[in-house]
Structure 1
Amino acid sequence: MTLPPLRLPDKASLEAILATLPSASADADLVPTLSAAFPGFDFSVARIDDDYWRDTRSVIRPDGTRVGELRPWLTAELAKDGGDVKAVWSRLKETDLQITEWRGTSAFVFAATGPAAADYIQIALGREIEWRAGPIVNRDYRPWGAQELLDPSWPRDKPLPDSARLVGPLYRLLDRAGGAFVHVRSFLDRCGRVEREKREAKRPEMERRVVRETGPRGVTRETPFLDLVPDYFEFVPREVRFFRDWEASSAGAQRVFTHWALDARDYCHKGEREVGFIPRPLKMPSDRLLMTPETTAHQLMDRIEAIDREIALPFGWFFLMTHGHWVEADVGLAIADALKAQRVRLPDPNAAVLLRWAEQTYGF
């Protein structure tokens, strides 16, 4: 019996589903609701502490009654006083009006679609709460321009108590750059195709390009660019290499999405399409691993093994290194040199991945 293909989520369906989640139980209901809407998928969710603020704010009274949206309401108040910022501030600071603001953090939902490293879907969400942020103006500081009234930043300098929560959490798609929903395998195919198309479009230019070098006797030599970079048209994007390296290494025994979220993007800038992602670790070591002149290869091996144990991922240090923050690239280069000199050892698959990376490094 042939089973029908799974119905992949789509933007419209996801937005409709998220709108049904009651704020009181949104955290608990998110995965079960998605599972009911898209049978056959085993959804999981990971949250990341990356605070952001929406530009939507409201004016409310102490009892919670909403007066209006902050910017249009304050624009009208400014008009009443002929645009006199000081007059508006003086008047409003004597009222009991308050402002609200939406604070959010990222959440990522994952579900496998097959056994390979890239066989999964990712949904990027914002988990947002509306808070009672404070009085409508800072009573201790007079704003010097209308923008300080219309877009006040001062309430954000302090955490808010839970009693200040008004609405939420609510979930919504974070479609900042076309990456709210991705089927990762299809996304990687797109990365490779767009890169190939960009390079093919430059083929006539690259075939004409030469690199000029002046020798010690002042003799200029011209070398065709493609002789120096013969694999220019076979370039593999870093995003694709990340997943290939994952599958080829010890990390491949685990799913990528249990350790990494992808800040995906697919947009046009100045007429050119940009497709890619920045990986974001879900599990981080307690300390950064930095290369110092006195650090030996054996000390580095001890440190990378400790990182792998801490994040519960074999060869996990390598992928943290490609991310660029937690492990310096010089660490990988030093270990690669030690491997070549047979002073240290790694499992053969991991050694092959590291040496290939050292020949042509990539990072995010």
Structure 2
Amino acid sequence: MSDTPIRLPDAVTVEAVLAGLDPASAGQDLAPALSDAFPGFAFSTAAVDDFYWRDARTVLAADGARLGDHRAWVERELAAHDGDLAAFWNRYRDSGLCFTEWRGTAAFGFAPTGPGVADFVQLSFGREIEVLAGPVVDPSYRPWSADDLLEPSWVQREPVTDAPVLAGPVFRLQRRSGLIHMRSFLATRQRLEREEREVRRPELEARATQEVGRDYMKETPFLKLNPEWFDLVPREVRMFQDWQRSSASAQRIFEHWAFDIKDYQEQGRRKLSFIPRPLKMPAERLLGEEGGSIHRLMERIEAVDAEAGLSFAWFFLMTHGHWVDPDIGHAIADGLRAGRVRLLDRDARVLLDWTDNRYIF
């Protein structure tokens, strides 16, 4: 065994790796380059169909010369026309000046750090190209405000476009939560939830629920009715716990899911969450059918698992809240309780616990 200490991934080195990629082969080179930069870590990468565009535009002259940042150029030229929008529009509607725009989709990198379900590093990127978006003004309609010029809406923005590509693809590490260790993330998410609930303890200790009958009225303390209120497990943590408890744990969670991290401040408190993103979309949604056969439902969830190449995949697609209707889970749970269908014991326990305390992303 080598005595060389393992170097943990860090954002500065990751950004240096990204800057050194050749755009012509960036997609193929990304995982090997990250693995080379951090010996001891075996990175894999995956893309997610999550199209976006950035407010990072450049004005381009007809001869291809770059005239600078789009916003700064518009503000400068508008000031030169004394803020006269009509004069600005007449000056540039046939000028041949265009603007470029960076557009992209989400991409993720993963590297295991241990055997546990949450023992991995996740990197969150944007995979971006710079395109020739369109003219600097809408040639057909005069702008009514400066915002019409600064936020151009007259160009088509679609994942598949005929717009000429000027640069890229390049990868950009997200500014916030671009690099996380999932086990640490989940621990922090649990801690923040607990702290936020503790702040409300005095209020909840003083709260009571009124129960009124024909001949009586009584009050029951809120915390007596909700003794586990301070021990709530966030849905992000529950998803990983359910994966570990279920037959899905035979495979690594990051081979099937990426996690869109949200990390922000609200009213002076840090908020932390994620939205899970399936790395392989099912061919079609699995929706509940009025009066449908429970045995037909079982055939359909087995087909979902086979398509995903993962046992119990349908359950996690259901908690995602889009690909599998939650009514499917409740129908199968009812079938389990009635002894009409069967799941693996560990999967049955997870599903029944979910129906008792449901979570959806």
TM-score class, shorter? over 0.9
Deviation at 1:117, TM superposition (A): 1.1
TM alignment of 1:1-364, pairs within 5 A: 3=3, 5-157=5-157, 159-161=160-162, 164-175=164-175, 178-217=176-215, 219-364=216-361
> In structure 1, what residue type is equivalent to 2:291?
E
Q: CA separation of 1:213/1:5 partners in 2, compared to 1, >3 Å: closer, same or farther? A: farther
Question: In structure 1, what is the Cα distance between the partners aligned to 2:133 and 2:209?
Answer: 60
Deviation at 1:258, TM superposition (A): 0.9
Output one character per residue of 1:4-23: Cα deviation in whole Å (capped at 9) or x when no partner: 55322122222222222232
TM-score, normalising length from structure 2? 0.95
Stretches (4+) displaced over 4 A: 1-5
> In structure 1, what residue type is equivalent to 2:360?
G
The range that moved more, 314-323 or 291-300, is 291-300
Give the SS at the match of 2:130.
strand
> In structure 1, what residue type is equivalent to 2:115?
P
CA contact (8 A) 1:133 1:160 kept: no
Give the SS at the match of 1:241.
helix
> In structure 2, what residue type is equivalent to 1:352?
R
> In structure 2, what residue type is equivalent to 1:78?
L
Question: In structure 1, what is the Cα distance between the partners aligned to 2:119 and 2:131?
Answer: 38
> In structure 2, what residue type is equivalent to 1:271?
G
Output one character per residue of 1:120-172: Cα deviation in whole Å (capped at 9) or x when no partner: 1100000111111122222222222221122211113465336x111111111
Report how many aligned residue pairs link the two structures. 360
Deviation at 1:3, TM superposition (A): 4.8
Question: In structure 1, what is the Cα distance between the partners aligned to 2:144 and 2:320?
Answer: 42
The range that moved more, 149-158 or 281-290, is 149-158
Q: CA separation of 1:157/1:179 partners in 2, compared to 1, >3 Å: closer, same or farther? A: closer
| Structure 1 unpaired stretches of 5+ | none
Question: In structure 2, what is the Cα distance between the partners aligned to 1:335 and 1:160?
Answer: 43
Deviation at 1:265, TM superposition (A): 2.2
Question: In structure 2, what is the Cα distance between the partners aligned to 1:110 and 1:298?
Answer: 38
> In structure 2, what residue type is equivalent to 1:199?
R
Question: In structure 1, what is the Cα distance between the partners aligned to 2:86 and 2:343?
Answer: 68
| Structure 2 unpaired stretches of 5+ | none
Question: In structure 1, what is the Cα distance between the partners aligned to 2:263 and 2:81?
Answer: 45
Output one character per residue of 1:148-205: Cα deviation in whole Å (capped at 9) or x when no partner: 122211113465336x111111111123xx3211100111111111112222232232
TM-score, normalising length from structure 1? 0.94
Question: In structure 1, what is the Cα distance between the partners aligned to 2:5 and 2:201?
Answer: 40
Q: CA separation of 1:64/1:315 partners in 2, compared to 1, >3 Å: closer, same or farther? A: same
> In structure 2, what residue type is equivalent to 1:32?
P
Give the SS at the match of 1:320.
helix
Question: In structure 1, what is the Cα distance between the partners aligned to 2:197 and 2:71?
Answer: 46
Question: In structure 2, what is the Cα distance between the partners aligned to 1:160 and 1:234?
Answer: 49
Give the SS at the match of 2:298.
helix
> In structure 2, what residue type is equivalent to 1:180?
G
Q: CA separation of 1:263/1:156 partners in 2, compared to 1, >3 Å: closer, same or farther? A: same
